[in-house]
Amino acid sequence: MYYCNINKRRSLLKIQNWKNDLMQILKDDIKERIIDVARKQFKQKGFIKASMRDIAKEVNIGVGNIYNYFHNKDELFHCVVKPVTNILEKMLLKHHGENGLEVLYKNKEENIQNMSNELFSFINGNKELLDILFFKAQGSSLENFSETFTDQATLIIKAWFIENKKRHPEINTNFSDFLIHIHTVWQFSLLRELVMHDIGEEEMKKVIQEYIVFETKGWKELIGI
């Protein structure tokens, strides 16, 4: 997997004095500037048409220097969208990995508010990146991110159901894999729509809350609790 963290390869032990600190800041600065410009270019032209030359030119560095920070164009793209892919993966694990069935009981008003706010701020704070990831990745190795992700998700959620069936044999898990899959897909299509269109904060929050209520209720109904 590509390695995108700022401060890559930085040995903390080495930061002993002002000189190293300054250098580190400068280097990180360049790396961030590259990512910023790349984000802009990818957004504007898509992965394929965005050119390393142009990115370098806009950052005001030599072309080759980009390759001191990223192995290739594809890794640069990965790093640009890393923030959102990271969160998406964490969300997947958090909501279905760590928690047991009880997550479905938590649909008290307050709890839904929290989840809704979380999702809202994720979408609102990452519109650009989500747009890039969903619609400008053609040609990169992330061009099938949605598909891959939903497939993975299906597997994880399926495993989660099997695990919970062991602990609560009374629940019903007799539904098709496709049902699980279609729900992951819906989640994404919701994301996509919310990303693509400029919906106001209130409306977006309302949509998200309704979605959460719907999903929780739906699943509780299905498993029979």
Residues engaged in binding a second copy (CB under 8 A): 46, 48-49, 135-136, 138-139, 143, 178, 181-182, 185, 189, 192-193, 196-197, 199
Cβ 83 to DNA, closest distance in Å?
A: 21
Nearer to a second copy, 3 or 135 (CB): 135
Q: Choose the contact partner of 26 out of DNA, a second copy, none; CB within 5 to 8 A by kind.
A: DNA
Which residue, chain included where needed, has tokens 């099938």?
Answer: 144
**Cβ distance to DNA smaller for residue 6 or 171:** 6
Q: Left if phi > 0, otherwise alpha if psi is -120 to 50, otherwise beta: which for 55?
A: alpha
Minimum distance of DNA from residue 73's CB (angstroms)? 4
52 or 199: CB nearest DNA: 52
Query: Could you say which of DNA, a second copy, none residue 10 binds, taking C-beta under 5 to 8 angstroms by partner kind?
Result: DNA
CB of 186 to DNA, least distance (A): 34
| Residue 132 binds which entry of a second copy, DNA, none, CB below 5-8 Å type-dependent | none
Tell me the C-alpha to C-alpha distance, in Å, between residue 189 and each of 43, 115, 122: 19, 18, 15
Nearest approach, Cβ of residue 60 and DNA (Å): 7
> What Å distances lie between residue 203 and 71, 145, 199, 208, 221, CA to CA?
42, 28, 6, 9, 27
Contact of residue 52 among DNA, a second copy, none (CB under 5-8 Å per partner type)? DNA
CB of 181 to DNA, least distance (A): 33
Torsion of CA 86, 91, 97, 102, to 10 degrees: 160
Residues that bind DNA (CB under 7 A): 9-10, 14, 19, 22-23, 26-27, 30, 49-54, 60-65, 67-69, 71-74
